[in-house]
Structure 1
């Protein structure tokens, strides 16, 4: 039998980092980088060398402890077309939205398809998870009376397999919850 080989062609790196700011707000910064293993010729940018950025973007959400978006910063450092940068300003429309169940549909609606960037919008679900992990993870570790575990129940219970009703996390965090 012939061994099947693979040749790398495209690489997308996404890095997310969460921060507690000195003013008490929280930031999650996402960075997206797309590269190719071959040179590409773009109509308006010209030749992009092997490993050069097809896309290079940074996107920051600033949120408060209630998960309300207070500010955003979108930065397009490399795009295939110069006018892609025009989509950056549309992400200010997220200000005032609250990360919660169903928020992504609302976010997509205020961003719009023709006024937004597919790649920045694709970062939103991962950024929302990073926001919750950044804020709630820190709060739970600082919570000596276990109030956050009880408070987080409505957000986390049945949100995934690990936090399913009757699972180990539910039993450990919310033992009074009916089985």
Structure 2
């Protein structure tokens, strides 16, 4: 058992990833993701200088997605806090994702399209973390009104093999396939 007494041990670092989905215009959604790394303790710089606690990274990605296929129409990056000013030079590194569809294999496609040497690992972490939330948000957007059963089944079918509950031999996929 891991011994973590939060009353005695000092928190030293926190990474928070948050994704919010907004309705867009004419069958689109806006997916906004934020990644924040915070240091809660003093740290020593290479020069020996002490840096007090601070926000190391605060990065925001916004994507406009076309429904129901989740094609990325537009993508933008904002970097309110970065460890080095030159980190902002790669804000455009996710541009190759425009036109891409969020679907099975999204993470591996992102890794192939975006060269890590010309990108930011934190932005790549964030955009791949946003994909499952985008799917959930698209679902929420669509079921705010009654759906044609064919559209409903089509959207549900996209869940196959995305997790244990939606495994192809499981009861939920069987329900979709049999229409019961």
The two structures have a TM-score, normalised by structure 2, of 0.83
Q: Which runs of 5+ in 1 are unaligned?
A: none
Q: How far off is 1:48 after superposition?
A: 4.7
CA 31–100 in structure 1, closer or farther in 2 if over 3 Å, else same: same
Structural RMSD (CA): 2.5
Which residue number in structure 1 is paired with residue 63 of structure 2?
A: 61
Contact 1:149 1:173 in 2 (8 A): no
Matched, 1:15 2:8: no
Match of 2:39 in 1: 36
Instruction: Give, in whole Å, the separation in 2 of the partners of 1:34 and 1:147.
Output: 43
Q: Tell me, which stretches of 5 or more residues in structure 2 are unaligned?
A: none
CA distance in 1: counterparts of 2:4 and 2:159, whole angstroms: 42
* Residues 158 and 4 of structure 1, relative CA distance in 2, 3 Å threshold: closer
Deviations 1:78-135 (A, max 9, x none): 1111111111111112111111222322222222111110001011222111111111
Greater shift after overlay, 157-166 or 13-22? 157-166
TM-score (norm 1): 0.83
Residue correspondences, number: 173
